[in-house]
Amino acid sequence: MSLYNDFRAFCDSIILDTSDMEITCGEIAKKLNSHYYGVDSENSEHSYIVGSIGRETAIVKTSDLDVIFDLPDDVYKKFDAYESNGQSALIQEVKGVLKERYPKTDIRGDGQVIVIAFTSYTVELVPGFKQSDDSFIYPDTNDSGSWKKTDPIPEQGECRNCETLSSGNFLNLCRIMRKWKNTCGVVIGGLLIDTLAYKHFLSNKYFGNKSYGDYFNVLESLFEYLKDLNKDQVYWLALGSNQQVYNTDSGSFVDKAKTAYDIICECDTEEEKYNALQSLLGSDFQNSTVVKNAAFHSSYFSNTEEFIEQEVPVEIRYSLEIDCKVTQNGFRDFLLSHFLRNGKGLLRHNKSLNFYIVNSATPDPDSIWWKVRNVGATAEKRNCIRGQIIKSNKTNQSERTNFYGPHFVECYIIKNGVCVARDRIDVPIGSA
C-alpha cells in the first residue's frame, strides 16, 4: 500500500500550477488584441497556450511557456508580400508592440519566436495565423525567411482523450517520464515523450485498469518499450496531429531507457524499488516510511546532500558526457567508464580520480557545477556523505578513493539560470 500512497503523493507534487502563467498570457494577449484587433476589453481571445503546458504534461519548475497568438489575415498578406524575409519583419513588429507593454523586460526575436524573459519563467510567443483546419502558419526567419505549419490543438485533444480512456493515468506517466528525463539527463523532447507514451498506452488498452499501486510495473513496461525502439529512426508521428516529431541526439534516449529498465528489473524488495525510483526520478520521490524514521538517522550523521532541483529549474535540452581518469603511482592509468563497462568490480584505496567533461553540446554555458556524493554505512559512520553542489565553473573535479562505498559524481551545465544538461558516473570503491 505504501507504493500506492507514495506514487500518488509524488504525482500530485510534480503537477505544474499554471495560474500565474495564465495571467501573464492574458496580459500579453490583451496588448496584442488592442494593437491588432482594436479590442481593449478582451484579454484571452486569439491566444493559445501550447507545448507541454497546453497538453497538461508539464511538471513543476517548467521554465518555458509556449504561446501562439493568432493575428489577422491582413497582417499575413502584408508581410508575405515582402521581397525578402517578411517573416523577420513580422517578428520585429510584434516584438516592438510587446516592448511597449514590458519596457524593462528582456524581449528578443529568436528565429521563430519572440522570447520574453520574465523572472520566474520565459514566454516563447509565436505570432501565427489560424487556418480553416485549426492549424497555424507561423514565421521562420532562418534562410531568408519562410512560413511553417504547426498543429497543436489536436495534440491537446488526444492527450485529454487518452487521459479519460486511461482512467487518469496517462498524464501522470507523461509527467513521471519528464522527471526521469530531467533526473537522468535524457535528451528527448516533450512532444516525443507524450507521443511515445501515447503509443504504448494505446497498445496496452490505455492501462485503464491500473492505479498508483501499479505504476512501478507500468514504468517497467514503458522503459521496455522505449529501449527496443530504433535509435536511427528519423521521426515519429505526433499523437493527434500526425506532425513529424524528430529524433534528437542520435536516439540517446533509447540507451538511457535500457539503463532504466535494467535498474527496475533488478529490484526484488520494496527497499530496492524505492532506491531505484529515487535514482530514476530524483529525491522528490519519497518513501513515506523512511521519512517518518528520518529523525533516527539524523542523530548520527549530518545529511549535507544538496539537490540541483532545489537550486535551479532543470530542463534537459543538451547532451553531456563525463568520465574519470584513474591514476596511482606504479600503476597504469585507466578510464573509469571502461572499468565499469568491463565489470572490473571495485576501485581500491589511494587512487587519484580526475573527473572531466568528455562532450558537452550546450552552446555558451553560463556555469559548470559538480556534486560528489559518498554513499553507504562507512560514509555515514564517518559523517562524510558530502553531496553539496560545487559551483566551481571548472571542466574537471579532482578526488581520491578514500573509503568503501558506492559513491557517485554528477556534473551540471547551467544556461540562463536553468540546468540544461547533466550526467552522472558511479564510483564503486572497495576495501584497502
Residue-wise pLDDT tens digits, 102-144: 999 999 998 899 999 998 899 999 999 999 999 999 999 999 9
- Give the SS3 label for residue 167: coil
pLDDT value of residue 345:
78
Which contiguous run of DSSP H or E holds residue 81? none
Q: Of 288 and 285, which is predicted with more confidence?
A: 285
Q: Is the pLDDT of residue 246 over 90?
A: yes
Query: pLDDT category, 348, cuts 50, 70, 90?
Result: confident
pLDDT value of residue 432:
56
Q: Which three cell numbers stand for residue 45?
A: 481571445
> Are 261 and 220 contacting, i.e. CB atoms less than 8 angstroms apart?
yes
Q: Which three cell numbers stand for residue 149?
A: 505549419
pLDDT value of residue 63:
84
Of 429, 372, 380, the residue nearest 402 (C-alpha): 429
pLDDT value of residue 295:
45
The angle at the Cα of 115, spanning 114 to 120, to the nearest 5 degrees, equals: 150
The Cβ of residue 33 has, within 10 Å, a number of other Cβ atoms equal to 21
Q: How far apart are CA 401 and CA 353, in angstroms?
A: 7
For 143-187, how does the pLDDT look when each residue is reduced to its tens digit (9 = 90+)?
Answer: 999 999 999 999 999 999 999 999 999 999 999 999 999 999 999
Query: pLDDT category, 300, cuts 50, 70, 90?
Result: low
- Give the SS3 label for residue 404: coil
Taking CA atoms, 415 is separated from 56, 163, 188, 419, in Å, by 25, 34, 18, 6
Least confident among 12-21, 123-132, 224-233, 326-335: 326-335
CATH number of 296-429: 2.60.40.10
Q: Is the pLDDT of residue 343 over 90?
A: no
Q: Is the pLDDT of residue 401 over 90?
A: no
Query: pLDDT category, 1, cuts 50, 70, 90?
Result: low
Average pLDDT, integer, range 341-358: 87
Q: Where are the alpha helices (DSSP H) in 334-419?
A: 336-341, 377-381
pLDDT value of residue 375:
77
Average pLDDT, integer, range 229-252: 96
Of 284, 286, 291, the residue nearest 314 (C-alpha): 284
The Cβ of residue 139 has, within 10 Å, a number of other Cβ atoms equal to 28
Least confident among 70-84, 189-203, 218-232, 289-303: 289-303
Q: Is the pLDDT of residue 296 over 70?
A: no
Q: How far apart are CA 347 and CA 404, in angstroms?
A: 9
Q: How far apart are CA 422 and CA 390, in angstroms?
A: 14
The domain locations on the chain are: 19-150, 154-259, 296-429
Q: Topology of 19-150 in CATH?
A: Beta Polymerase; domain 2 (3.30.460)
